[in-house]
Amino acid sequence: MIQIEEIKITLIKFARQTLQFVSKKEVKFILTILFTAAGLIFIGLKINESLPELGSYFENIKFGWAIASLPILFITFMLFAYGWSLILRSMINQFSLLKIIQIWAKAQLGKYIPGLGIHFVARLELSASEGITRRTSFLSTVIELSLLLVTAGIVALIALTNITGSKSVSIFIDNISANYGGLYIAGISIGFLIAILLINPIPVRWLGEKIGGVDTAKFTYKWLILLIIFNIIRWAVMGVGFFMLAKSIYPIDYIEMPFLIGAFTLSWAVGLLVVFAPGGIGIREAMLVLLMEQVMPTGAAVALAALSRVWWILGELFVLFFSTTALSFSKMNSPHRAQNTQIKKEPIINEDNN
């Protein structure tokens, strides 16, 4: 028992020292440059490899498919913002949904600023300006990111098991099993353990107690299951939109749709986990190219990775534009409603006086 306590103390001490070291500005800057450069160099090599054919993919984009993917993109991004509001609703009762969506959208843009946790800090500060405590915002964001990562992993795991019988995907999975079987099983096992630890009411309530001042009583297993289902559906729908975007670049078969959904969610998760790359730039694209090469030429995969980044940013900007515009209209209509209420009341007062 004493040994276990000593190991625990040593691990906590090591974790604190690591965080202190990583949080230094110079270290963050160097790591940001290294991780981003690594991803971009990989993309650069792939561009050089496919340069003769790359231009033709951009020139022959099927705009019908690209435009058709936008409504799905916009809807799913609104659901991303709404998902955070669902978590907040389990902790606080009253808040403006439009304002929460706007805060989510503004903070999202902060992830493209070099530095660790800019997006995270921005959300805490913007939430505090609306009367939501930083503690509540912190815990809700931790839960949100954990849910997104775990459900993205679930979707990727299901989609990449070749449920459609695609030959190209089957070859890809066989190669992974043959060359990296041990790592594959270890990765799944570790991911499963992390999922149990992070997405569970018990650690959420424990963290809430440690932080203090956060109501986690409503965060039950039933609420958790509903959030997991909501996020899985959201990833699947967004993956369909990504498949439509891929169709605008390359005539990929419908049988490959599950693989594309899994590849998209997995590349997003890897980009998020590499926290030093601003917005996962370079890392997400590198992962996406690596996976997309299984079902399309390298040039098409590179073109799709570049287009998907623009596609993703459009989704973020749409949420910000929509929430800001809706809030402006709401404020404009509020004085008119108040005036109409007073006008309706005046005749009644006059009749009473007469």
Residue 48's pLDDT is 73
Chain centroid to Cα 79, Å, comes to 11
Residue 32's pLDDT is 67
pLDDT greater at residue 302 or residue 334: 302
**Domain assignment present for 253:** yes
Helix residue spans in 110-166 (DSSP H): 118-128, 134-159
**Domain assignment present for 10:** no
pLDDT greater at residue 24 or residue 55: 55
**Domain assignment present for 338:** no
Please name which of 224, 180, 179 lies closest in space to residue 201, comparing C-alpha atoms.
224
Residue 49's pLDDT is 72
57: left (phi over 0), alpha (psi -120 to 50) or beta: alpha
Residue 320: count other Cβ atoms within 10 Å of its Cβ. 18
Q: How many CA atoms lie within 13 A of 75 on its CB side?
A: 15
Mean pLDDT of 224-244: 93
Residue 345's pLDDT is 43
Residue 239's pLDDT is 94
Q: Residues 6 or more apart from 119 whose CB is under 8 A from it?
A: 107, 108, 109, 110, 111, 113
What is the identity of the amino acid at 70? L
**Domain assignment present for 352:** no
Q: Which domain holds residue 164?
A: 25-328
Mean pLDDT of 290-297: 88
Residue whose entry in the numeric block shows the structure tokens 């902060």:
110
Residue 80's pLDDT is 92
The DSSP secondary-structure symbol of 199 reads S
Please name which of 108, 100, 107 lies closest in space to residue 83, comparing C-alpha atoms.
100
Please name which of 232, 262, 236, 251 lies closest in space to residue 304, comparing C-alpha atoms.
251
Residue 341's pLDDT is 46
The DSSP secondary-structure symbol of 92 reads -
Residue 247's pLDDT is 95
pLDDT greater at residue 180 or residue 133: 133
Residue 191's pLDDT is 65
Distance, in Å, from the CA atom of 126 to the CA atom of 78, rounded to the nearest integer, reads 18
Whether pLDDT at 295 is above 80: yes
Per mean pLDDT, which range of 59-63, 91-95, 264-268, 312-316 is the poorest?
Answer: 91-95
Distance, in Å, from the CA atom of 78 to the CA atom of 325, rounded to the nearest integer, reads 14
Distance, in Å, from the CA atom of 200 to the CA atom of 195, rounded to the nearest integer, reads 8
Mean pLDDT of 73-89: 92
Q: How many CA atoms lie within 13 A of 256 on its CB side?
A: 22
Distance, in Å, from the CA atom of 129 to the CA atom of 310, rounded to the nearest integer, reads 30
Residue 202's pLDDT is 80
Residue 77's pLDDT is 95
Total count of domains within the chain: 1
Residue 54's pLDDT is 78
Mean pLDDT of 13-24: 55
Percentage of the chain beyond pLDDT 70 is 71
Distances (CA, A) of 14 to 3, 11, 91, 208: 16, 5, 32, 24
Residue 18: count other Cβ atoms within 10 Å of its Cβ. 10
**Domain assignment present for 169:** yes
**Domain assignment present for 266:** yes
Binned at pLDDT 50, 70 and 90, residue 67 comes out as very high
Binned at pLDDT 50, 70 and 90, residue 181 comes out as low
**pLDDT tens column, 327-351:** 888 877 765 554 554 444 444 444 3
Residue 91's pLDDT is 86
Residue 300's pLDDT is 92
**Domain assignment present for 236:** yes
**pLDDT tens column, 240-270:** 999 999 999 999 988 889 889 989 998 998 8
**Domain assignment present for 56:** yes
Most confident range, picked from 38-42, 96-100, 315-319: 315-319
Whole-prediction pTM = 0.80
pLDDT greater at residue 192 or residue 331: 331
Whether pLDDT at 169 is above 50: yes
What is the identity of the amino acid at 240? V
Which stretch of DSSP H or E encloses residue 223? helix 221-247
